[in-house]
Structure 1
Amino acid sequence: MSDFWLYFNIGLKHVLDINGYDHVLFLMALSLPYTFKDWKKVLVLATLFTIGHTLSLVLSVFGVVTVNAAVIEFLIPVTILITALYNIFRWARKSGGKNDSLTFISVTTLFFGVIHGLGFSNYFKVVLSPAADEKLLPVLEFALGIEAAQIIIVVAMLLLSFVVQEFLRFAKRDWILVISAFIAGVVVPMIIGSEIW
Structure 2
Amino acid sequence: MTDFELYFGLGREHIMDVTAYDHILFVIALCTIYQLSEWKKVLILVTAFTIGHSLTLALVILDWISVDSSLVEFLIPVTILVTALGNMIKRNKDFRNTSSRTNYFFALFFGLIHGLGFSNYLKALLGRDTDIIGQLFAFNVGLEVGQILIVLVFLGIAWLLTMILNVTRKDWILAISSAVAGIAITLMIETKFW
- For residues 1-197 of structure 1, the aligned pairs below 5 Å read 1-91=1-91, 93=92, 95-132=93-130, 134-197=131-194
Alpha-carbon offset, residue 96 of structure 1: 4.4
Alpha-carbon offset, residue 166 of structure 1: 1.1
Report the secondary structure of 1:170's partner residue.
Answer: coil
Alpha-carbon offset, residue 45 of structure 1: 0.4
TM-score, normalised to structure 1, is 0.96
Aligned length: 194
Alpha-carbon offset, residue 173 of structure 1: 0.6
Structure 1: state its 5+ residue gaps. none
Report the secondary structure of 1:177's partner residue.
Answer: helix
**Which digits, 9 at most, give the CA deviation of each residue in 1:12-57, with x for residues without a partner?**
1101111010110001111111112111000000101011000001
| Letter of the 1:123 counterpart | Y
Report the secondary structure of 2:97's partner residue.
Answer: coil
For 1:74 and 1:146, how far apart are their aligned partners in 2? Answer: 22
| Letter of the 2:48 counterpart | L
Conserved 8 A contact 1:96-1:173: no
| Letter of the 1:82 counterpart | V
| Letter of the 1:191 counterpart | M
Q: What CA RMSD, in Å, does the superposition of the two structures yield over aligned residues?
A: 1.0
**Which digits, 9 at most, give the CA deviation of each residue in 1:66-107, with x for residues without a partner?**
11000000000000000000000111x3x3434321111111
User: Share of identical aligned residues, percent?
Assistant: 42
For 1:3 and 1:141, how far apart are their aligned partners in 2? Answer: 8
For 2:94 and 2:72, how far apart are their aligned partners in 1? Answer: 32
Report the secondary structure of 1:67's partner residue.
Answer: coil
Report the secondary structure of 1:169's partner residue.
Answer: coil
Structure 2: state its 5+ residue gaps. none
Conserved 8 A contact 1:53-1:117: yes
**Which digits, 9 at most, give the CA deviation of each residue in 1:136-180, with x for residues without a partner?**
110010000000000000111110000001111100110010110
